[in-house]
Structure 1
Amino acid sequence: MNKENQSSVSEFLLLGLSKQPQEQRIFFLLFLSMYLATVLGNLLIILAISIDSHLHTPMYFFLSNLSFVDVCFSSTTVPKMLANHILGSQAISFSGCLTQLYFIIVLAYMDNFLLALMAYDRYIAVCHPLHYTTKMTPQLCALLVAWSWVIANLHALLHTLLMALLSFCEDNTISHYFCDVVPLLKLSCSDTYLNDMMILIVAGLLMIAPFIFILISYIFIACAVLRVPSTKGRWKAFSTCGSHLVVVSFFYGTIIAVYFNPSSSHSAEKDTAATVLYTVVTPMLNPFIYSLRNKDLKGALRKVIGRTIFYTQ
């Protein structure tokens, strides 16, 4: 059939995670619980950091930005899926699909950049403690985050515009619970060579470069920690680094598995499972891994919760 004879779709159908009604109800309750935990946990982190003046440092500045991004990240995909279940509809408009795609890319890369900035902050704090205050100034931290937003938005705009130029014909069924790059490319009846090249080259560079930067930073941190004479001090530092690296590996591993493999190796089930990990599970776990093991932040959270209880009485 010629492309000219094929009709252009005006909306897509998101199949979600399961076609079985019983499983759909289970997934609805599970995702609702995870989303509420994500929003509550990350908003508490932001509130605690903003209220406690002792936490107005570069590390907590980056952490509050990460929490904000994680809330937005989950809010880009999960509420739409929950609303579709309640309304009994699977439809999303073409413009709504591209809008969702744009924000997913922006927020995914902001997560990526913020993880690298947090690693750089820890590198300066551990390896150059005497110069920490002069190197990690508030102006520099704000500038680094601002440039991260600019790069992430420009990158998302590139992929969204390239996607908008493609033709989508009769098949409008997406075997996913949100509009993602790989499922959309599979539905296109146009040549997707340019899109694939941009994913491998531009997206690969912007994703892999921060990951390599994080690994190098932690190699230097590990070398510095090994010189610490106290065994207890070394173990505490390695434990903190280990938690960070677990989340980094979790985040990057799932993204690489979805986006940087040959198209022939993709399956809807594997891609969906991987994207659930980095769009829902990781944002939910970040407050616990990065924050709740921190004594200063625990104290700030107790103050916030204590004030909330006091004012509600």
Structure 2
Amino acid sequence: MTTPPKTSRKKAHSGSKGLHPRNIHRDGYNFEQLAIACPDLKPYIVQNIYGNSAINFADPAAVKNLNKALLKKDYNIDAWDIPDGFLCPPVPGRVDYLHYIADLLKVGDTNAAAAKIKLLDIGTGANGIYALLACKAYGWHCTASDINPTALNNVETIVEKNKSIKGNLTLRLQSDKSHIFTGIIHDNEYFDVSVCNPPFHASLDEALKGNRKKRHNLEAKRLSASPQSASLATLPALNFGGQNAELWCKGGEHKFLRTMIKESHIYSKQCRWFTTLVSKSDNLKPAKKLLQKLHAANIKEIEMKQGQKITRILAWSFEPIPN
């Protein structure tokens, strides 16, 4: 009789905005200091109805320049940029994922062993955010993959302008869109962990509907009442950008997770922990069921909370790993 895998569910740490205790963005943003680090942000800073500095998070240009400022000021990443139309992820939430991964691997930011960690970023996009932050926040060695050559070329440009990252970050093109790990993990290669933010829509139409809902929520919650803020009518349809492969794939998140889990079994001896964000909670149960069928030794669900938003990390390993 097969021994069932260890499963656990870990709640997010309490605290400001629910971010991880090591997340330096827990106390919000100092827009004045950020504007000094990145003057391009200054035109997008407005006063909200409480008299505090803010930006319009429904404006993609404001969000992109906020990212540039955060990466420059807090992580010493220069010249970060993305081409028009590519996904612009929020830095605090992305680095939160990495802090929880560090906990999963049992390495802290002051642990000398942390520098030896090898991370595989699946679907790094043009922003390269996970790999870049892992290099700078933890000193990890990263390999980042994507199916889009333009995306990888953009990350390569960022790396070239940040010499401290060069040598710690390797880029690989996934030439077969039907695969995730195959063609990326080489023979006799071993990673401590893989990370992924999968496309969660099943079609372009679904992605557009989801974006319209997000835009509506952002506008409803927008603190700024300043006339300097862009109205929804002047903003592009996809306020956070995103190429097809970044936002949607055939079968959506459910099928992507199924493919990822099946391929992870093939490389079970070449990666200690496989992890991925799961946007839709309904996809967790079938994913865990498939992992149990494939005899995963450990399955963990890690819950991250950012304000009212809850994000889940699904982590699994085929190696017996002690608690």
TM-score for both structures, normalised by structure 2: 0.26
Higher helix residue share: 1
Larger Rg: 1 or 2?
1
Higher normalized contact order (CA 8 Å, seq sep 6+, divided by chain length): 1
TM-score for both structures, normalised by structure 1: 0.27
